[in-house]
Amino acid sequence: MTDKVFKDQVAIVTGAGQGIGFEIARQLANQGACIVLNDLDAELAEQAAADIREADGKCIAVPGDSSDEAIINDMVQVAVDTYGQLTIAVANAGITLFGDFFEYRAEDLRRVLEVNIMGSFLLTQAAARQMRRQKGSGRILLMSSVVGHQAHQYLAAYAMTKAGLEMLAKNLVLELSPYGITINAVAPGATLTERTLQEDPEYPKVWSAITPMGRPAIREDIANAALFLLSPLSGHITGQSLVVDGGWTAVSPLPDLSNMKVKKGD
């Protein structure tokens, strides 16, 4: 991709205080986009936005719960008021709550559904409405997962939401295409981020052993795929899901979960 391919574009990226979301926001800004950066953690959001600005990018933080319709509307309004339009939306925010299916608590299921499904749906809706008002094209990207394609123990709720997002992308082709808006999904496999390394120091070793390419993904691997689907190079691609997993879904061996602390019901 050439430099500044996203010049004059305006993007919302949720869950972007760190990890994959931050890398997508950073790369978009480096290539000319103006960014509205969201994270539930206000301190993380402000620091991430400051880091992008220090690298000569344009970025403003809008912290808050990405499943809250008021926060979503604020993000869209900030994009329009600050940068004049909205052309890209990346629904990256999501949560993973492992749990034994037989003991999975209703409150945990509700939260996973709220963030992963409702937040992504409402951001897509609010962004698409704004893009339609602008009478121009737009790009929407949903963040799925390989577990939306392959079974993974203790992730029934999470996997269900990720498969649902891929169906949302496919279904909305019918309603968004007449307005020049594309919608796609990226499905990352095991990825080295601050969160995964904090949760499991053995994460790189475990996933290197069971990934055909010999290593888990890094943030840049996922962001590179995301930027392709957000760029003019993918103008005729919509309703699709791009798996970025080093070949894991081709063979799908599970890590050893015998020592995992699985959340149980009361």
Catalytic residue at 158?
yes
Catalytic residue among 145, 154, 203, 241: 145
SS3 251: helix
* 168 conformational bin, left if phi > 0, alpha if psi -120 to 50, beta if neither: alpha
Q: φ and ψ at 254, to 5 degrees? A: -90, 150
Sign of CA dihedral 242, 246, 251, 252: negative
Distance CA 29, CA 4 (A): 9
| 145 classed as catalytic | yes
Could you write out the DSSP letters of every residue in 176-193?
HGGGTEEEEEEEE-SEE-
Cβ atoms of 183 and 173 within 8 Å: the answer is: yes
Amino acid at 9: Q
162 is catalytic: yes
Report how far residue 220's alpha carbon sits from residue 223's, in angstroms, rounded to the nearest whole number: 5
Chain center to CA of 59: 18
* Catalytic position from the list 67, 104, 162, 241: 162
Q: Which of 132, 51, 47, 56 is nearest to 89 (CA)?
A: 132
Check if the beta carbon of residue 104 is closer than 8 Å to that of residue 157: yes
Beta strands per DSSP E along 189-244: 191-192, 217-218, 241-244
Instruction: Exactly one of 104, 154, 158, 203 is catalytic; name it.
Output: 158
Beta bridge partners of 193: none
- The catalytic residue positions are 145, 158, 162
